[in-house]
Amino acid sequence: MSLREALDDPAVAAARPRVLAGWERLDAPIRWVHTSEVLDIAELLSGGEMLLVAGVILGDSTPDQLRSYVDSLADVGAAALAVERPRIGVLSEALVDRAVARGFPLIELTEVVRFVEVTRALNSRLVNESVRALHFNDEVTHMLAWVLAAQGDLDEMVAGLSALSGCAIMVRSVSGAVLASAEVPDARPRSYAHVAPIESAGVTIATLEVLPRPGVDLQMINAIARRAPESLALALLRWRPLTRSDQAVREVFRLLALAEDTTRPPSLLAETASALRRATRSLGLPPGGWYVGVVAISVDGPLQVAELAAVLRRDERQVLSEIRNGQYRSIVRFDNRTDPAELVEGLVGQLYSTALPSSLRVGITEPQREMADVATTMTVAATAAMHSTESDYVGLARDFTLDHFLTQVDSAAVERFLDAALGPLRTANRSEELIATLAALFRTGSRVAAAESLRIHRQTMYQRLARIESILGRKLGTADRSTGALRVAVEIAAARGGPR
């Protein structure tokens, strides 16, 4: 059952629930419903629980305790927290703000209801759904086992899944090529597909797409997504074993992982770079040219990369790709005659002009002559992807080097540095606005340009800067050794976002 369905249940609807945070996770599944009035309940949860709280204990808690409470629930993977407002009056800002920051579903119950009735109603539905899920799981497992036992190939397995479910079924390679498919009339378009990775030895070797027809039971679709990938992987390895080229691509990405580790001795890094050059030549990639790394993640559900893979291969570009640990990683080779600045701009333009899945986020490295040099910036590209948004879904690694750096250093040391460099500015009223103003000034080098970038009046800009100088007790134009620290601190604070 999804959280959205739970909120629509009559037992919950009687409490007139209001969603205060985590709107984007209303379709996340709920495994069980609990009631609890203790702050350390997280250690007893296993993930997927919806927690009902009368709220008295929350009213007696400090802001720091409330923030830790939300963090503990989010970290353990709880589905939602529902709090009765009438018993505590107004929910604490600290509780709401932390839930918003974590994207954790926080539900305000505006009317008092009997929790025993809510838990009985929802948990009964969950038990019934679990029984149905087990039935469908068995059907899928038995059908696939029969096909494998009869020496059936991938096409027969896909056809069997389609006949069992009434859905269109498709298996795609990592590059997006269709390996097997079974069509049915009236199947929904690919934007409605349920996608599951097909893995072997921790590497995604293909993806399974289930395109439902109207009226098909969702539990059957979920059963296919859960149970079919393992059997499909066996069929792929039996009937479509890895080619020499596939093995060479895997070797390239193994070497790239080694090249990313810059703590290794220089001699070993040089050996890895040489091995990468040999591996790329064995794949038919000529010497010279530019290499660009691309990292893609999904912020909601499995990766769907067919459209992305098609964009990367435009203009006859050569692409090496792998999906591992939930990340799609590609190395794209561009012609030697292409200007490096233009090639990145052109690739970004092609990505934005393509209808990619809304959950996809993409990071792109700077062009490099050596593939080993691309490897060292792939993790930064991953950070760029994670910081991208639904509207700005392509990030350049060069714009997120500071964000990536902050993930690698001790957070307590960063806090001490910010306190030393920014002092009272961190705790001042509307500090986030003042820090953003300073960041704009330092980036543009002009008060007029900074005002334009912030879309505020020049006089407003001057007033803000005067207030900043008053808080800091210094003139911003002062040229001394502390100026550099102030600039760095402002960029770090702006990158981290939010007040102290």
Return mean pLDDT, the chain.
87
Distance (Å, whole) CA 4 – CA 381: 34
Max mean pLDDT range (44-48, 112-116, 255-259, 477-481): 255-259
| Distant-in-sequence, close-in-space partners of 109: CB < 8 Å, separation ≥ 6 | 12, 15, 16, 17, 82, 83, 84, 85
Residue 200, token pair as written in the block = 């072997």
Strand partners, 209: 170, 195
Q: Residue 426: pLDDT above 90?
A: no
Q: Tell me: pLDDT of 305 over 80.
A: yes
pLDDT at 10: 85
357-369 pLDDT, tens per residue? 888 999 999 999 9
Q: Give CB contacts under 8 A, 24+ apart, made by 467-473.
A: 467/434, 468/425, 468/434, 468/437, 468/438, 471/423, 471/424, 471/425, 471/428, 471/434, 472/422, 472/423, 472/424, 472/425
Pairing outcome for strands 327-334 and 318-324: antiparallel
Q: What is the pLDDT of residues 435-481, one digit of tens each?
A: 999 999 988 988 899 999 899 998 999 999 999 989 988 888 777 77
**How far is C-alpha 286 from the geometric centre of its chain's CA atoms?**
34
pLDDT tens figures, 216-237 = 777 888 899 989 999 999 988 8
Residue in the structure block whose two tokens are 């096409």: 155
Q: Please state whether beta strands 360-364 and 106-109 pair in parallel, antiparallel, or not at all (unpaired).
A: unpaired
Under 8 Å CB-to-CB from 397, ≥6 apart: which residues?
293, 363, 364, 365, 366, 377, 380, 381, 383, 384, 404
pLDDT, average across residues 246-256: 89
pLDDT above 70: percentage of residues in the chain:
99
| pTM attached to this predicted model | 0.65
CA distance 9 to 463: 52
Contacts of 47 (CB under 8 A, 6+ apart): 31, 76, 77, 78
> Which band of pLDDT confidence, cut at 50, 70 and 90, is reported for residue 497?
low
pLDDT recorded at residue 191: 74
Domains and CATH numbers, the chain: 3-113 (3.40.1390.20), 132-239 (3.30.450.40), 244-401 (3.30.70), 411-496 (no CATH)
Reported in sequence order, the residue ranges of 255-334 that DSSP labels E, i.e. its strands, are: 290-298, 318-324, 327-334
How far apart (Å, rounded) are the C-alpha atoms in residues 37 and 359?
Answer: 35
